[in-house]
């Protein structure tokens, strides 16, 4: 247990330990930001990212083995899901950079729609797939070591921010890649979700390569400190809460919860935010 803990988001020194197993998670009692303890070394992270555990939790499909039809179906499925959020900010001339695109399915969907896209990917295999199979621009690099000097209209980070060992530095780098007035599309696991509270130590996002654990409050503070304004918040009812409710009741029940304003207390496992960089 740490003796000198200071939250890197809000500066508070009071903390709890909501998870302790092979590693611990220390959570700030004020803003509910959590951080893994101990933070893995870069060598340990390299080992974890190449382990079977990482691929079983993050890469559920071997896209390199899909035929053309199955690959196109996967691109459509992934693309339509994210475009639900992105269509609020994309313009016809928008340029898009995705940090950690994996195998680039969302980028391919956007490229097919006429947007100028690029990926920034640390995995050599994934970067090669994006370049050679999908025919898209990609830089094989970490965010910290990227040599990209361009600025983009939209920057995507889909379940990526929680992997950085220094989130403040990562966000500062993000700002250099966004045009003034540009938009950040951000999705992270929600440590303050109904799912996490209900599942406890069995919550599937407790993973040794997840460095940060965000709440809505801690993410709001982080974005504000980095000169971002949140312009869109997406909430949804927890699948864990709904799993035993008959399907014909789910839709009216969810609508009622939103009307009554209780949906934030039964929120799902992901926080989705769109934020605008101040000019």
Model confidence pLDDT, tens digit, residues 63-116: 777 888 998 998 999 899 999 899 989 998 999 999 999 899 999 999 999 999
Report how far residue 279's alpha carbon sits from residue 269's, in angstroms, rounded to the nearest whole number: 32
pLDDT at 174 exceeding the cut of 90: yes
State whether the Cα torsion 100-47-57-70 is positive or negative: positive
| Percentage above 70 pLDDT, the chain | 96
- Residue 227 is classified by DSSP as T
Determine the pLDDT at residue 55: 64
Collapsing DSSP to helix, strand or coil, 28 comes out as strand
pLDDT tens-place string over residues 121-152: 988 888 999 999 999 999 999 999 999 999 99
Report how far residue 39's alpha carbon sits from residue 57's, in angstroms, rounded to the nearest whole number: 20
Q: What is the arithmetic mean of pLDDT over 199-226?
A: 94
Computed over every residue of the chain, the mean pLDDT equals 90
pLDDT tens-place string over residues 14-70: 999 999 998 999 999 999 999 999 999 988 888 887 776 776 677 666 777 788 899
Residues 6+ apart with CB under 8 A from 44: none
Q: How far is CA 110 from the centre of its chain?
A: 18
Taking residue 203's Cβ as centre, other Cβ atoms within 10 Å add up to 20
Determine the pLDDT at residue 179: 96
Confidence of residue 193 (pLDDT cuts 50, 70, 90): very high
Confidence of residue 251 (pLDDT cuts 50, 70, 90): confident
| Percentage above 90 pLDDT, the chain | 65
């Amino acid at each position: 247990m740490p003796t000198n803990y200071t939250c890197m988001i809000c500066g508070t020194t009071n903390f709890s330990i909501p998870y302790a197993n092979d590693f611990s998670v220390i959570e700030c009692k004020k803003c509910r930001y959590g951080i893994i303890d101990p933070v893995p070394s870069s060598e340990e992270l390299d080992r974890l990212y190449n382990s079977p555990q990482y691929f079983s939790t993050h890469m559920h499909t071997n896209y390199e083995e899909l035929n053309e039809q199955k690959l196109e179906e996967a691109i459509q499925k992934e693309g339509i899901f994210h475009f639900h959020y992105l269509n609020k900010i994309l313009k016809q001339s928008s340029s898009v950079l995705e940090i950690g695109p994996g195998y680039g399915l969302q980028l391919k969907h956007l490229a097919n729609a006429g947007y100028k896209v690029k990926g920034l990917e640390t995995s050599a295999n994934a970067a090669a797939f994006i370049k050679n199979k999908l025919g898209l621009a990609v830089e094989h690099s970490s965010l910290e070591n990227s040599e990209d000097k361009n600025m983009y209209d939209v920057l995507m980070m889909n379940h990526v921010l929680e992997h950085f060992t220094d989130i403040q530095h990562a966000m500062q780098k993000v700002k250099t890649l966004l045009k003034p007035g540009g938009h950040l599309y951000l999705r992270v696991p929600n440590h303050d979700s109904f799912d996490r509270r209900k599942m406890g130590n069995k919550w599937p996002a407790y993973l040794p390569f997840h460095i940060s654990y965000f709440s809505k409050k801690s993410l709001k503070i982080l974005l504000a400190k980095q000169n971002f304004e949140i312009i869109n918040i997406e909430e949804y009812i927890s699948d864990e809460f709904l799993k035993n409710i008959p399907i014909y009741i789910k839709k009216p029940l969810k609508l009622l919860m939103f009307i009554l304003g209780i949906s934030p207390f039964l929120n799902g496992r992901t926080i989705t935010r769109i934020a605008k960089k101040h000019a």
